[in-house]
Amino acid sequence: MLLAACIPGRHPVEGKPCDRDHACPDGLLCRNLVCVEPGNFDGGSGGGSGGGAGGGSAQACPNNLLRGGGFEDGHLVNFNWMGPFTAQGATVRTGAFAARITSAGSLISQFGALQPVAGMEHCAEAWVRGTAGSGAIGLQLGRQFSTVDLSAETTVTPDGTWQKLTNRFAYPSGHVGMTVHVNAPAADVFVDDVCVQVCP
Ligand SMILES: [Ca+2]
């Protein structure tokens, strides 16, 4: 078509608007509602105010590579579950919604919801709340579609309050995606403010 002759450079979509429902193609990242190259968001501009509280993103996570980690959509389009779970507004850490896990299993980000940067180490955090006396709640990162290329699990023992889990994973080059897993031992585990960023 006519436009094909005048594509301006490597990334014709760089600088175009984006949001949690309109991801950037070609490995570009959505930063402050604009598509940028991965190397272009953590230096130079000096902007980045606002703390990333917008939309479905997690609070206090300005460079979150995961869509929907704050569950503020009120539904779970960006997550999958090996069993029943829901988005609900009765028990939240921030905003109006959090995920509620209602049987043992793993909450896993959907394909494409987490857009990693090839060759970089990624730092994750998730806030979880479980019933005191139930089993440990875990956090893992891994390569998409792999059941073996996963980080070791980090865990907390639930105490009835919101607790922070952290983990890290070196995402290799040459793969198609990354997932974040919250592993729950039992019913009534709440999850909010899941964040994955390139490690500082
Ligand atoms: Ca939330």
The sheet carrying 79-81 orders its strands as 79-81, 105-109, 178-184, 137-143, 154-156
For residues 120-129, give the mean pLDDT. Answer: 97
Residues in contact with 148: Cβ distance below 8 Å, sequence separation at least 6, in sequence order: none
56-94 burial, b at 16+ Cβ within 10 Å, e below that, comes to: bbbbebbbbbbbbbbbbbeebebbbbeeebebbeeebbb
Q: Please state which of the four CATH numbers 3.40.640.10, 2.70.70.10, 2.60.120.260, 1.25.60.10 is assigned to the domain occupying 52-198.
A: 2.60.120.260
User: In angstroms, what is the span from residue 56 Cα to ligand 1's centroid?
Assistant: 8
Contact 87, 71 (CB under 8 A): yes
In the chain, where are the structural domains located?
8-49, 52-198
Structure tokens at 114: 């987490």
User: In angstroms, what is the span from residue 32 Cα to ligand 1's centroid?
Assistant: 19
Per-residue pLDDT tens over the stretch 135-180: 999 999 999 888 888 999 999 999 999 999 999 999 988 888 999 9
Residues with CB under 5 A from ligand 1 (ion): 70-71, 94-95, 98, 192
User: In angstroms, what is the span from residue 20 Cα to ligand 1's centroid?
Assistant: 14
Q: What per-residue confidence (pLDDT) applies to 86?
A: 82
Q: What per-residue confidence (pLDDT) applies to 42?
A: 31
* CA dihedral (89, 154, 146, 106) positive or negative: negative
Q: How far apart are CA 134 and CA 124, in angstroms?
A: 23
- Of residues 146 and 125, which shows the higher confidence score? 125
pLDDT exceeds cutoff 60 at 73: yes
Lowest mean pLDDT among 25-29, 106-110, 142-146: 25-29
Lowest mean pLDDT among 59-63, 89-93, 145-149, 189-193: 59-63
For residues 106-112, give the mean pLDDT. Answer: 88
Q: How confident is the model at residue 87 (pLDDT cuts 50, 70, 90)?
A: confident
pTM of this structure: 0.69
Q: Which residue has the tokens 């500082």?
A: 200
Lowest mean pLDDT among 46-55, 149-158, 189-198: 46-55
Q: How far apart are CA 126 and CA 98, in angstroms?
A: 11
Find the distance separating the first CA and the last CA of the chain, reported in whole Å: 43
pLDDT exceeds cutoff 80 at 23: no
9 φψ region: left (φ > 0), alpha (ψ -120 to 50), beta (else):
left
User: In angstroms, what is the span from residue 143 Cα to ligand 1's centroid?
Assistant: 25
User: In angstroms, what is the span from residue 147 Cα to ligand 1's centroid?
Assistant: 28
